[in-house]
A and B are shown apart, each in its own frame.
Chain A
């Protein structure tokens, strides 16, 4: 029992005052009697006539004291510090990567699971239990049920993922639920960054002892500017409390291309650069730190290359055809007639001097004419337009030089969307767009009606456009738990995904892409579609997950948890207490006046 306004206990001082007044009020008549022998004998015989009994007998005094006590209790606002009666409980099992650490045998996760199962058994019969797992995603596994067998089956079916944890997100999710739990039981290793800030009662079971871990916390490949050559950046960090000598090996396919040993002090991180080199296929970097968590000891990088298929719709344009032949194109088909159905078979469609009224989402180049459903309007036609600005930061305009270029005539575009790549004082004459309709580049002028066609920058521009339009939307590397999106050639195309944990079939959606989110294991995910094989490397690369130490000391945790186990419930009974006091006062008044009348 706690009191929200204990200062009002001072009101109890009224009790001795009432007693003193009561005693003062008692004026005794002095009477001389033959002998007090019999009276003394009576008081001796009748134990009830003790001082205490005398007070107890005075019901009016008692009622006054009772009224004061009730009023005082009402004023101090009693609150019951009690265990929350957990009718609905939520189990959150941390399935993040750090739960695979082996400092607690067999692993943190297995221990957590066992503890959770024990807790399920110990809960009162009839308690409704809901189960969530928490890693990079919050998974709602089981709705409230009192079927303990079902709950245990659900917990038993869990396994740790190779993803980052996000307990806070899970707690936020649970807080937003309509049916709020009375208690949350969280089983975690505490390897998360932020403090738990939950308004709901929560008990945290932590499973972490040691921090002995070295992990690769980032991996990326960058262009060097030299065609095809890339550098691989790998960052390794020592999270343990001792100095570590960590051998590093880098494999390209089956070939060892780099080996070194990293001397890492506690807390030190080291970047390793491999290359520049023309990497191909799958590159794997492995460290051998002899630590507690193995998932972060290796990373994969893939270097996919899909050459796009291109449909050129033109009557005749040899300049353009030559320029396209220099670009990195897989298939190049040419036609002067088209139907919308055939467009979807190509990665890029080039409309030269023609355009359909409407286009489906895709990658398009429009020269001279534009369809009506793209977010671009024709503001007018300008002869000999003077180029006002070139957006040289755009990858399309890289290495494109328009000095001395003259254009006979050009359509001037106006658009609130997209980007003007080449603009005159009245608007843009080369425009690019990336949005719901895919990627679009629109020429306001015919290249053959300009001196640009003879420039060496023209094939560069075409190649840049093709590279941009044909760019694989998904890089060759992804973070575990993240969604991978890949384009397909056809709608509803079957895509076979070979994952580290098995083969999965997916069907492409209407905009010719598949989204694949089940990347909860690190490794290489191979997507087989009509465009060929695409390998995507999925890595953990998370400093917060590799740091397997218990961020918040367990003692502090425990204390905090204990403070949450008991919820200070303002019982809000002061109204009843004051009502009771009023009732007592009325009763006292009634008794007082009824005595006087008799």
Chain B
């Protein structure tokens, strides 16, 4: 329970994930489906056909027009929220660490899903799906979710494309994907996100940055070791090239942002140093992720 405070949880209970695309679930739930069926929300009329249920005939229209019309309703189905949480080794950096910040985010979003009776799947990814917690529904699973997150340790090398492909196996219907990662993947992220987009998933990307990535606290001549691959790079006079590095970082962030914008993917980035309540209650609401 150390991830989120009770007070913060009480705030989260009032929030819901703002899903813009119509979902296609497997069973009846709380969210409007793209299908017509036995819902309570009126959608349209159509001419009566033999075999239609008499209960849906609009008799008032029949009285006026002397024609039989049947009322159509949007079916309400259960939505699945898939949280892809990058737990690669690079996530252990930052203060607080990107991993801890990701855990808080996952817990927040998962909790929001649970209290809104959505089906919540949590996939912990690096180069593949390292760990998973599937089919959580209802607030009774809150403690399970939090304990699961609490136990996570950074591991593996980031490979978003393969991890996304791995997580898609066995998933049915149209649902929501929330990706929490630092996106420091030399192989890129574009292919995975495109797959999600083409399969009709509503995708949310949360880009977690640490302060040491934004302003590396290094100077002089250094030998940098990659935390995931162990690769090294030797640099001299870091002070002179920091501005160049920041420009590269800026271009990198712009690339992700514009990619997401072009593919109708919601995108938010934040530093792990920002308090989680501000991120969730302010940034996410402002960004239209939550309502």
Contacts and interface: CB of A to CB of B under 8 A. Distances in A.
A10 interface: no
A57 B218 CA distance: 19
A33 B214 CA distance: 12
Interface stretch (A35-43, A95-103, A378-386, A565-573): A35-43
Interface string A6-28: 00000000000000000000111
A30 B223 CA distance: 5
A33 B234 CA distance: 12
A46 B246 CA distance: 12
B244 A46 contact: yes
Contact of A45 (B228, B233, B248): B248
B131 interface: no
A49 interface: yes
Contacts of B227: 32-35
Interface in B238-271: 240-241, 244-245, 248-249, 252
A177 B224 CA distance: 77
B177 to A, nearest CB: 23
A38 B249 contact: yes
Given A26-B236, A30-B225, A33-B216, A38 B252 contact: yes
Is the interface on chain B under 10, 10 to 19, 20 to 34, or 35 or more residues? Answer: 35 or more
B236 A35 contact: no
Nearest to A45: B248
A57 B228 contact: no
B156 to A, nearest CB: 13
A597 interface: no
Contacts of B228: 34-35
A54 interface: yes
Contact of B184 (A28, A31, A34, A45): A34
Contact of A35 (B226, B237, B244, B245): B226
Q: Which of B91, B210, B225 has its CB near the most chain A CB atoms (within 10 A)?
A: B225
Is the interface on chain A under 10, 10 to 19, 20 to 34, or 35 or more residues? Answer: 20 to 34
B190 interface: no
B235 A33 contact: no
Given A36-B231, A41-B252, A31 B222 contact: yes
Nearest to A43: B233
A310 to B, nearest CB: 114
B224 A39 contact: yes
Contacts of B234: 28
A314 B126 CA distance: 152
Nearest to A27: B221
A29 interface: yes
B153 interface: no
A29 B90 contact: no
Contact of A30 (B212, B216, B222): B222
A35 B184 contact: yes
B182 interface: yes
Contact of B93 (A27, A28, A33, A43): A33
B248 A28 contact: no
Contacts of B237: 57-58
A33 to B, nearest CB: 5
A35 B222 contact: no
B232 interface: yes
B186 interface: yes
B236 A37 contact: no
27 contacts: A28-B223, A28-B234, A28-B235, A28-B236, A29-B218, A30-B223, A31-B223, A31-B225, A33-B216, A33-B226, A34-B210, A34-B213, A34-B227, A35-B182, A35-B226, A35-B228, A36-B224, A36-B232, A37-B184, A37-B226, A39-B235, A39-B245, A42-B244, A43-B233, A43-B235, A46-B241, A57-B240
Given A36-B225, A42-B241, 13 more contacts: A27-B221, A28-B220, A31-B222, A33-B224, A34-B227, A37-B226, A38-B248, A38-B249, A39-B233, A41-B248, A41-B252, A42-B245, A58-B236
| 10 residue pairs, one from A and one from B, having the closest CB atoms | A35-B184, A34-B90, A42-B248, A28-B223, A34-B93, A36-B226, A28-B221, A32-B225, A30-B223, A29-B222
Interface of A: 26-43, 45-46, 49, 54, 57-58
